[in-house]
Chain A
Amino acid sequence: MSDDQLLKSRRNALKCMAFGGAGTLFALSGGVFTPMSLASARGYDESKEGKALGKPLFVQISDTHIGFNKEANPDVAGTLTETIDIVNAMPVLPALIIHTGDITHLSKPAEFDQAQQLFSRLRTTEMHTVPGEHDTTDATVTEYFNRFGKVSNNKGYYSFDHAGVHFIALINVLEFKPGGLGTLGAEQLAWVAADLKGRSASTPIVVFAHMPLWTIYEPWGWGTGDADQLMSQLRRFGSVTVLNGHIHQIVQKVEGNITFHTARSTSYPQPIAGVGSGPGPLKVPADQLAAMLGITSVSVVKHPSALALTDTALA
């Protein structure tokens, strides 16, 4: 084998390692998921296979929980760094990063500062965030908004357009009802209605919020009480992708043209719904941890109305 060939095969092997593991690629076309081979998820490059994946639109990072230091993962900064390395190593960089909340574990200024320092290593410069309930536990609920509130005028919800896709960021962690689920609230729902008014049904929509926007498991609060009022507004669109975090594991559902997806955490896994006393950190053997953490990348496949979701584990 020549040096050149060796280098090439080594590069491919490294690429395999970076994207290997438990990821599954789904192409979303007209609202229907089509599983594709994992091998093609390795990279968006100039090969025929790479081109078929389309242009990587964004990568979803979730539940980084900076500040967590318990047995389930004593080094959350380390696993976030690995995550960032995976993103930075993508042959074609995604245009955006979307963080679906729980940036920090306890809303402490030092935790936010450390998270922002780590994020600054991302080669993708544009990052959009929504807060998780762990980001809003400070008594004044100001630490998150002081850093990330400008885009939403400290409301927590906002929208923007990129590559023909309309993105809607929502907050569902501020209005908890005792014993209940997350809440969007009348004001935010009215804002969504105004935001979507007059928009063509062929516009691909990506909605993201921290807590699941459909009820996955009510006893643990894995859902949003008034999400139905949001979905009724989204149903007329041909391609809607709803992304959430919060539950630290992948759960998917397709309902008409709406695809729901929750992302893995980069910090620690959580139990499957209803297993154990509550949704706390799940302790797993160290060699299994990386396979239970990861990111989701979403790309535009061929036509802007088709989005593909790829989940990548850290190992």
Chain B
Amino acid sequence: MNIRGTQMLLTAVGMVALGAMELYTPSVAETSDPTQIVVKDFMFSPTPLTVKAGSTVTWTNKDDEPHTVVSDTGVFKSGGMDTNESFSYKFDKPGTYHFTCSIHPRMVGTVIVQKAHESHSENKPSHRRSTGGRGDRRRSVRRIGVLRHRRR
């Protein structure tokens, strides 16, 4: 993920966490929130997202263009999400869930739901890179102020 994407993701994660206190755990929210998918620049990230059964995953649209989240098998379907709007779905059953944006069908993503007693694959070092450079996020926190300033 590029720096800008990481920045947006962090911003989004912060905002969503504040809006949903039951999901907010201060110790991890600073660096990651394993149940959030950000929709930005016509992409879902991270994808795939791995969660435990029983988790509620929230998608938040950070584009000026509306997006939707529609499961390929019809398990879940959001309405049109405008900028900063979110959609949540609770995954009770383990499995692999592919989804797309019905407005922009090139946008595809995956949620992998593991059995509740299994450990999070995200905690394994080998999986870090594929979920969007989680290890880089803490480092990029310091850069955010500079980047924002530059963009204005």
- Contact flag A279-B104 (CB < 8 Å), given A72-B64, A105-B66, A137-B66: yes
Least CB separation from B43: chain A residue: A277
B43 CB to nearest A CB, Å = 8
A177 at the interface (CB under 8 A from B): yes
CA of A139 to CA of B106, assembled, Å: 20
Residues from chain B with a CB closer than 8 A to the CB of A219 are 106
Least CB separation from A183: chain B residue: B105
Least CB separation from A108: chain B residue: B80
Residues from chain A with a CB closer than 8 A to the CB of B66 are 105-106, 134, 137
B102 CB to nearest A CB, Å = 6
Q: Is the Cβ of A177 less than 8 Å from the Cβ of B105?
A: yes
Instruction: Name the residue among A71, A181, A221, A281 with the largest chain B CB count within 10 angstroms.
Output: A221
With beta carbons under 8 angstroms apart, the residue of A137, A180, A280 that contacts B63 is A280
Least CB separation from B105: chain A residue: A176
- Contact flag A278-B65 (CB < 8 Å), given A178-B72, A179-B106: yes
B57 at the interface (CB under 8 A from A): no
CA of A47 to CA of B42, assembled, Å: 51
Least CB separation from B66: chain A residue: A106
A121 at the interface (CB under 8 A from B): no
B135 at the interface (CB under 8 A from A): no
Number of interface residues, chain A, beta carbon within 8 A: 25
Number of interface residues, chain B, beta carbon within 8 A: 23
A311 at the interface (CB under 8 A from B): no
CA of A277 to CA of B72, assembled, Å: 24
Residues from chain A with a CB closer than 8 A to the CB of B104 are 220-221, 278-279
A254 CB to nearest B CB, Å = 28
Q: Is the Cβ of A134 less than 8 Å from the Cβ of B41?
A: no
Residues from chain B with a CB closer than 8 A to the CB of A181 are 105
Residues from chain B with a CB closer than 8 A to the CB of A106 are 66, 79-80, 82
A138 at the interface (CB under 8 A from B): yes
Q: What string of 1s and 0s marks CB contacts (under 8 Å) between A173-199 and chain B?
A: 000111111000000000000000000
- Contact flag A178-B80 (CB < 8 Å), given A71-B64, A137-B66, A280-B63: no
B68 at the interface (CB under 8 A from A): yes
A123 at the interface (CB under 8 A from B): no
B49 at the interface (CB under 8 A from A): no
Q: Is the Cβ of A281 less than 8 Å from the Cβ of B64?
A: yes
- Contact flag A137-B68 (CB < 8 Å), given A176-B105, A220-B106: yes
Q: Is the Cβ of B105 less than 8 Å from the Cβ of A180?
A: yes
Q: What string of 1s and 0s marks CB contacts (under 8 Å) between B59-78 and chain A?
A: 00001111010001000011
B45 CB to nearest A CB, Å = 12
B100 at the interface (CB under 8 A from A): yes
Q: Is the Cβ of B64 less than 8 Å from the Cβ of A137?
A: no
Q: Is the Cβ of A133 less than 8 Å from the Cβ of B102?
A: yes
Q: Is the Cβ of A221 less than 8 Å from the Cβ of B79?
A: no
Residues from chain A with a CB closer than 8 A to the CB of B100 are 176, 178-179
A56 CB to nearest B CB, Å = 33
Residues from chain B with a CB closer than 8 A to the CB of A155 are none
Within 8 A of B (CB), among A219-242: 219-221
B50 CB to nearest A CB, Å = 20
Least CB separation from A71: chain B residue: B64
A107 at the interface (CB under 8 A from B): yes
B151 CB to nearest A CB, Å = 13
- Contact flag A179-B108 (CB < 8 Å), given A70-B64, A137-B79, A280-B64: yes
Q: Is the Cβ of A137 less than 8 Å from the Cβ of B105?
A: no
Least CB separation from B40: chain A residue: A277
Closest 5 CB pairs of A and B: A278-B42, A137-B80, A277-B41, A280-B65, A176-B105
What are 20 inter-chain pairs, A to B, with CB distance below 8 A?
Answer: A70-B64, A71-B64, A106-B79, A106-B80, A107-B80, A137-B68, A137-B102, A138-B79, A139-B77, A178-B98, A178-B100, A178-B105, A180-B106, A181-B105, A220-B104, A221-B105, A278-B63, A279-B42, A279-B65, A280-B65
Please report B residues at the A interface, Cβ cutoff 8 Å. Answer: 41-43, 63-66, 68, 72, 77-80, 82-83, 98, 100, 102-106, 108
Beyond A137-B103, A176-B105, A221-B106, 10 additional contacts (C-beta under 8 Å) are: A105-B80, A139-B77, A139-B79, A179-B106, A180-B106, A277-B41, A278-B104, A279-B104, A280-B42, A281-B64
